Amino acid sequence: MFEPSNLLLAVPALPLLGALLCVAFGSVKELRKWAHVPAVLCAALSCAAALTVVSNIGEADVHFPQDRTGEPISWFSVATATTKLSADFGLEADQLSGIMLIGITFIGTWIVVFSIGYMHGSPGYPRFFAAVSLFLASMTLLVLADNFLLMFAGWEGVGLCSYLLVGYWHDKPSAAAAARKAFLVTRLGDVGLLLGSFLLWQMAGRNSFNYQFIFEKAAEMVNAHPYLFPAACLLVFSGAVGKSAQFPLYVWLPDAMEGPTPVSALIHAATMVTAGVYLLARCAALFTLCPAVQATVAVIGAFTAILAAYIALTQNDLKRVLAYSTVSQLGFMFLALGCAGPVVPSFAVTAAVFHLFTHAFFKAVLFLSAGSVMHAMHDEIDMRLFSGLRKKLPVTHLAFLCGAAALAGLPLLSGFWSKDMILESALEAGESKRFGTLYYLLFGVAITTAAMTAFYTFRAYFRTFWGPLKMPEGAHPHETWVMNIPLLVLAIGALAVGIVAEPFTHWFSHFLGHAKTLVQADAGRVAEHHLNWPLMIGSGAVALLGIGVAWAMYAGNSQSADNLAKNLKTPYYASLNKLYVDEIYNVLIVQPFLMIAGFCKLCEAIVYDLVRLVAMVPRFLADLIRPLQNGLVQFYALSMAMGLAAIVGYLVLVAK
């Protein structure tokens, strides 16, 4: 029972069970306030199972069903002579999914614990935990699936849960709108992903959606379809763009902050939004074959990174700063992914996944701290309304500081190491013949972004925790252990996970480098691991510079910041208004769509009226015949007699 393959099934199954139990608890009035129990238990057990599974990777073949020769469990299957459209319920844990699993289940568990305190007394308490558990199930399914279709099922599952949780306070119009926006915008990308998957299936001989099967045919496919193959990769990438909030589809993520803060931490920072990164890492064997696509990925990543960082500079909403920071950091990861090819893929992809991993920790802790602040500040999150909270919320302050330092890339902290790897990838990619200059340019963008990151992170930190004590009305700052423990655990992770995992031992890259897809993508090239001291010193200096500027501008009074804003009006307002992207989209996309929709509505109204007109006919006829039923016995008798006489008379006298 406790064999790795069975545990593998338990990883998604347990949270699913938890979700069902939460629903069951929710339907019993007395149990409603205990609805977190199944969620926490199942998440913790799932985490334990995941850790066991991961410890077995590399030693045993972790695959479900375990017996490889055995028939896989068929999900559905439609087969003709030449075509086989089938999907198996196959789970497989390799190094890549292993790392994802640790992040999802470990951080997920602590966030669920944090939610107990944060969501306490909220209406729909069981609904929250049911949705979070369902999310964990879908997310683990997504990373464990061994084929595109099952992965897509998980992919849609997390999208659904994201929708449910962003719109958790569904009676709030902005939350409902944000949920809809998140769902629809990611849907755009999802269509691409589905098309891409089917294109790959088609090119691979219409046989299987299995990753390994398709990857093995990658070289043949790229020769046979020199244009279609990159197109398929681009389509898959569009799915990642939607889910991981990259330009131009990033607009949903800042709005998604309408959801409860633990959700922002779990789904919109640590896990779901990284699904795109996971997908591209998983498909590294495909993407490395198309340098142009890789360059596109890198450009979009870098562009998103600097764009989001620029917007984050001036945001006043603490959670929005973090949201844009997430978008920006995801851009970093895509930049690294785009470098795979020019750089040894296992190195570049490792950089991306490593950043994903560390980012999950420090962004989760940042969001949870923000949530803690929000909880204390009576659901107020505008940084202009509070400051100097470090004495009132000591644990939160400490945790936020750890997260912020890691995000800013302060030397020796986890964010520093992973960001360093990404920068190094970009730098190395600049030495390649094709697109070399481009990658140098991207490196420049990245290092600028790093400085901006340090600045806006610490701007938020100083404005919240330093300066004179200021609180909105109704705030009653307090911290509870159920929220503090997860904060501290994750804060330690944010500090230490980087230095433990990679820089001196290279444990992480060695582990990940054995993933089949990366081995295949490497095609025999070997990644060199060395510490690039000049780069490290440089990036450390940049981070310190950013922090220093933030200190100078915001630690005391923010007079200098206001002056600067006055002097640089145009860039300031551009950033504050998010570069007017929402407005541009509104004019370019939403309004035309609304016009088309209005036209359709008009057509529908006409059709509807026509249908109603037709429906009038029977009613009219009914009104003609109903008066005959007037209740008079003798009228009835006469009618029947006349009817009989007519029938008999006609048939006997005329027809005969």
Partner 1 sequence: MFPIAATLERLTADLTRDLSLFIPELILCGTIPFLLLLRLLFSTKTIPLAPVALAAVGTALVFALRTDLPTHGGTVTFGGMLLIDRFGLSVRVALLAYLLLAIPLGVLTKIPDREDAADFFTLMIGATIGLMLMTSARHLLMVFIAVEMASVPSYALAGFLKGRRPSSEAALKYVVFGAAASGTMLYGISLVAGTFGTGDMEEIAGQISYSRTQISLSAFAGVLLIFGGILFKLSAVPFHFWCPDVFTGAAAEVGAFLSVASKAASLALAARLIYYLGGTGVSHTNALAVLWAIIAGVTMTWGNLAAFGQTNVKRMLAYSTIAHAGLMMMTLTVFDYRAVPPLVYYIASYLCMNLGAFAVVAFVRNQTGSEELDTFDGLAKRSPVLALSMTVFMLSLLGLPPLAGFAAKFQVFAHLFENAHRYQHGEIGVFSWLYTGLLALAAINTALSAGYYLGVVRRMFLDTGEEAKAPLSVPFGGRVILSVLVGGVIALGGWWNPLTEQGIMAAKSFQHKSAKQKRLEMSQEQ
Partner 2 sequence: MITISHYLAVGAVLFTLGLIGFLTRRNLIVMFLSAEMMLQGVAINFVAFSRHHGNMHGQVFTLFIIAVAACEAGIALALFLSLYRKKRTLDVSVWQDLREAGIDETTDAQPLTTTPEDADPILTKAGIAPKRPLEETNV
Residue 39 CB, shortest distance to partner 2, in Å, is: 48
Neighbours of 540 (CB within 10 A): 17
Residue 636 interface partner, choices partner 2, partner 1, none, CB cut-off 5-8 Å depending on type: partner 1
Nearer to partner 2, 552 or 637 (CB): 637
Burial class (CB in 10 A: 0-12, 13-18, 19+), 496: middle
Which tokens is 140 given? Answer: 């683990």
DSSP letter string, 320-367 = HHHHHHHHHHHHHHHHHHHHBTTB-HHHHHHHHHHHHHHHHHHHHHHH
Cβ closest to partner 2, residue 552 vs residue 646: 646
Residues paired with 79 in a beta bridge: 84
Beta bridge partners of 147: 210
Specify the stretch interacting with partner 1 by CB under 8 A; choose among 30-38, 204-212, 314-322, 642-650: 642-650
Q: Per-residue x/- marks for partner 2, 618-637, CB under 8 A?
A: --------xx-xxxxxx--x
The distance of closest approach from Cβ of residue 635 to partner 2 in the complex, given in angstroms and rounded to an integer, is: 8
Tokens at residue 340, please?
């795979």
CA separation (Å) from 431 to 217, 231, 343, 436, 557?
29, 26, 9, 6, 45
Q: How many residues bind partner 1 (CB under 8 A)?
A: 25
Are the CB atoms for 188 and 249 separated by under 8 Å?
A: yes
Alpha-helical (H) ranges within 91-172 are 95-102, 108-118, 125-144, 148-166
How many residues sit in the footprint of partner 2 (CB under 8 A)?
11
Establish if 608 lies at the interface with partner 1 (CB under 8 A).
Answer: no
Our finding on whether 184 is near partner 2 (CB under 8 A) is no
Q: Counting contacts by CB under 8 A, is residue 637 touching partner 1?
A: yes
Nearer to partner 1, 81 or 628 (CB): 628
For partner 1, give the closer residue by CB, 469 or 621: 621
Query: Could you say which of 595, 641, 647, 648 contacts partner 2 (CB under 8 A)?
Result: 641
Per partner kind, with CB cut-offs from 5 to 8 A, the member of partner 1, partner 2, none near residue 621 is partner 1
1 versus 625: smaller Cβ distance to partner 1: 625
> Which parts of 514-573 interact with partner 1 (CB under 8 A)?
none
Nearer to partner 2, 602 or 640 (CB): 640
Instruction: Assess 613 for contact with partner 1 (CB under 8 A).
Output: no
Q: How many CA atoms lie within 13 A of 368 on its CB side?
A: 38
For the chain, helix (H) and strand (E) counts, in that order, are 29, 4
Q: Least distance (Å) from partner 1 to the CB of residue 603?
A: 23
CB closer to partner 1, 524 vs 618: 618
Q: Is 647 in the site for partner 2 (CB under 8 A)?
A: no
C-alpha gyration radius of the chain: 30
* Interacting residue with partner 1 among 219, 568, 607, 647 (CB under 8 A): 647
Whichever of 568 and 648 has its CB closer to partner 2, that residue is: 648
By the rule CB under 8 A, 621 interacts with partner 1: yes
CA angle, 512 then 516 then 518, to 5°: 60
Phi-psi region of 174 (alpha: psi -120 to 50; beta: other; left: phi over 0): alpha
Secondary structure in 3-state letters for 536-592: HHHHHHHHHHHHHHHHHHHHCCCHHHHHHHHHCHHHHHHHHCHHHHHHHHHHHHHHH
**Residue 627 interacting partner from partner 2, partner 1, none (CB closer than 5 to 8 Å by kind):** partner 2
**Start-to-end C-alpha separation, the chain:** 86
Q: Which of 81, 653 has the CB closer to partner 1?
A: 653
Please state, in angstroms and rounded to a whole number, the distance separating the CA atoms of residues 405 and 411: 9
Residues forming the site for partner 2 (CB under 8 A) = 626-627, 629-634, 637-638, 641
Residues forming the site for partner 1 (CB under 8 A) = 615, 618-619, 621-623, 625-626, 628-629, 631, 633, 636-637, 639-640, 642-644, 647-648, 651-652, 655-656
